[in-house]
Structure 1
């Protein structure tokens, strides 16, 4: 498989060797185009993810994990997304959960989350409410109401990415006193309904449907209240989740490169009569397009891993209890900049793939349009224009970047 030179070659932030999932990812890649075309859910693949405990990559070895850095995690996510971006995206909220609740030394009931993650359990997320006028923020209509020593949970969540395949779901809700909270519950609990109704143009298999919660019992140790030091209340707590999306887009671009190489190499001895050479595979113009896609894939991966380095520095400071306000904003800025670059490079080159293959590349059976559709859907998750405006204001006037929600 033709891949860009990994940026890990130029810098490394962990002495721990990241596990090699090459064979697993290759098997995932084999059926990715067909699954996307026919909308075949990857339940069996998620089971393999559980068995290989990919969800425990960030836990320490003593806790049953691998102890890798965020840079290494993003590198793994890029490779998994190159195999199948739907699978990588289905795990996005899980990876964010691990750092937010299972790794944080200040998270309540941390041992419980560590045990579940180490066992292979997967976590999805129910956050968005279409009834809210504010995207990425409270208040929530979904509510926790007192019920003896615990709570009852009622509400409806949309775009519950990964939850269809998950063992547990993190539900963002209003606790008594209108405090923002996370209820972390098994998806099999009575009153939880998972609806497979996501119908996006891309990322069709991310398990991003509706989650309906009807009088769901929630135990006291399954609720984490937001505070300035814990969970979603931590300033810039969403940076990792944002960078994971961009890492998936970078993985799509890596797959575009693979397909461009295969596509040009497979073209028969047939070319336009006015081309410079008789064989398309020997045409320097087409070879140049592949070269430019290769450069774009390298650049995309490099900026994602550079942003991951900033997150590693921030995480080390927070874990040690050191002041981290400046590092948090720096990491958020790096992640936002990476998004702007990677989105543009991927969307442009997912289209240029068809310049390499010609009209036959548009055949439905090839499903090469999935790269653009998937990248466009991911890029639409959060506004690049608003991020660019926030970055510009920060550079020009020193205005702080948004510290909550979807930045």
Structure 2
């Protein structure tokens, strides 16, 4: 069994994350407090969002505030000391944070996805230990899929291996799209064991042989630091290994949970873009010369477009929260293959709408606000860059196919983190 301090620090290209002082970490009690804390953090995060994006300034201090807020522990079961908030509340927390800063808001996505995996396949001993770390303010950031190669044709394939040696278990591989790993205290990674089974290894961030490289260069979601993680013969405790292969063998909600968060991030982007569009039209945009109006906000065409966009944003939010409530209802009852499929379909419907509205709102912003809104000083293009980048996380065309195939042919969605 390992703890966060059992391994010596390895020389890495970036400073390691520090654990917060225990007395500074809140213990959130319920859904209402989780939403309150999210609003408090969002007010802080929003103030520097444009500057962080422009300068690509990584949010170390902001993540310390995140850890101290206690939000990282809101899905920990009550039996283990957490608030065990509803899925609907979890989605709303992400909308609130991502409307303030979607890059910073996205960083904890894998934290909660990983906690969903732990909940379904972790042993009781693993749950006690890892939940305890989370409630003390520790952050999780996964080592994502490998880059495409002959040995890694899809995100579910790769060459990362966990092998048994005379010195114990060792993990080797190179991963990418590792959102949150740079800032994490544990870096879970998917690997194949010697039997060819998928496992998940929850490595402490400072273990010997683990390097986190900040080589993320996307034009959007710039400060997520979703770059490379290298495992070079990393020592692994058997107590830090979860049997990931079991997830494909049993119905669960880990996939819908992960996708619900992805949809909530896009919803937050849409709401921020709409809010900035309205503010710019009110405060800065000029009316068109032929309108005869004194204010752009009185232009009937702009009014109509804002109304239509408001409807679309609101509709997407309601479908998102309804998907969260669907997951809550399913989690409260017997969880069989049919129930797991309903959860995936409900979240897919939300994902389609939030993807579309994030792109629509972030593009429509400029049409409504006019050419002055394109000035670099305002950095309003970050909304579209963030929307375009994050909505590529998994292709929405496969969501509509999943939904149609389910309703038309009764085909249940495949079980993985993208459904």
TM over 0.5: yes
Q: What does residue 403 of structure 1 align with?
A: 415
Partners of 1:310 and 1:133 in 2: CA distance: 34
- Residue 381 of structure 1: how far off its partner (Å): 1.0
Q: What does residue 7 of structure 1 align with?
A: none
- Residue 203 of structure 1: how far off its partner (Å): 0.8
Partners of 2:59 and 2:185 in 1: CA distance: 15
Report if aligned partners of 1:18, 1:66 keep a CA contact under 8 Å in 2. Answer: no
Q: What does residue 162 of structure 1 align with?
A: 180
Q: What does residue 102 of structure 2 align with?
A: 85
Q: What does residue 240 of structure 2 align with?
A: 222
Correspondence list, 1:177-326, <5 A: 177-228=195-246, 237-267=254-284, 270-317=286-333, 322-326=334-338
Correspondence list, 1:36-75, <5 A: 36-61=53-78, 63-75=80-92
Report the secondary structure of 1:329's partner residue.
helix
Deviations, residues 63-117 of structure 1 (Å, cap 9, x unaligned) = 3432311111111110000011111211000011222215767566111111111
Q: What does residue 126 of structure 2 align with?
A: 109
Partners of 1:95 and 1:247 in 2: CA distance: 13
Report the secondary structure of 2:58's partner residue.
coil
TM-score by length of 1: 0.89
- Aligned length in residues: 387
Q: What does residue 113 of structure 2 align with?
A: 96
Runs of 4+ deviating beyond 4 Å: 102-108, 230-236
Report if aligned partners of 2:146, 2:155 keep a CA contact under 8 Å in 1. Answer: no
Partners of 1:248 and 1:396 in 2: CA distance: 29
Q: What does residue 330 of structure 1 align with?
A: 342
Report the secondary structure of 1:126's partner residue.
coil
Unaligned 5+ segments in structure 1 are 1-13
- Residue 28 of structure 1: how far off its partner (Å): 0.5
Is 1:372 the counterpart of 2:384 in the alignment? yes
- Residue 367 of structure 1: how far off its partner (Å): 1.1
Match of 2:154 among 107, 116, 135: 135
Q: What does residue 20 of structure 2 align with?
A: none
* CA distance 1:127–1:107, shift in 2 (3 Å): farther
Partners of 2:239 and 2:122 in 1: CA distance: 16
Partners of 1:387 and 1:178 in 2: CA distance: 29
* CA distance 1:176–1:103, shift in 2 (3 Å): closer
Deviations, residues 222-265 of structure 1 (Å, cap 9, x unaligned) = 1111243x599755632211121110000011111221221112
- Residue 55 of structure 1: how far off its partner (Å): 0.6
Q: What does residue 173 of structure 1 align with?
A: 191
Report the secondary structure of 2:142's partner residue.
strand
Report if aligned partners of 1:226, 1:232 keep a CA contact under 8 Å in 2. Answer: no
Deviations, residues 154-213 of structure 1 (Å, cap 9, x unaligned) = 100011111111111111001121111000011111111111111112111112000011
Q: What does residue 8 of structure 2 align with?
A: none
Partners of 1:195 and 1:105 in 2: CA distance: 28
Report if aligned partners of 1:310, 1:331 keep a CA contact under 8 Å in 2. Answer: yes
Report the secondary structure of 1:66's partner residue.
coil
Report if aligned partners of 2:41, 2:97 keep a CA contact under 8 Å in 1. Answer: no
Is 1:145 the counterpart of 2:145 in the alignment? no
Match of 2:399 among 387, 393, 403: 387
Report if aligned partners of 2:120, 2:254 keep a CA contact under 8 Å in 1. Answer: no
Is 1:17 the counterpart of 2:14 in the alignment? no
- Residue 384 of structure 1: how far off its partner (Å): 1.3
Report if aligned partners of 1:236, 1:404 keep a CA contact under 8 Å in 2. Answer: no
Deviations, residues 37-75 of structure 1 (Å, cap 9, x unaligned) = 111111111111011121101124563432311111111
Report the secondary structure of 2:32's partner residue.
coil
Q: What does residue 18 of structure 2 align with?
A: none
* CA distance 1:136–1:239, shift in 2 (3 Å): farther
- Backbone CA RMSD of aligned residues: 2.2
TM-score by length of 2: 0.87
Partners of 2:251 and 2:190 in 1: CA distance: 15
* CA distance 1:69–1:235, shift in 2 (3 Å): closer
Partners of 1:313 and 1:18 in 2: CA distance: 22
Report if aligned partners of 1:88, 1:248 keep a CA contact under 8 Å in 2. Answer: yes
Report if aligned partners of 1:98, 1:117 keep a CA contact under 8 Å in 2. Answer: no
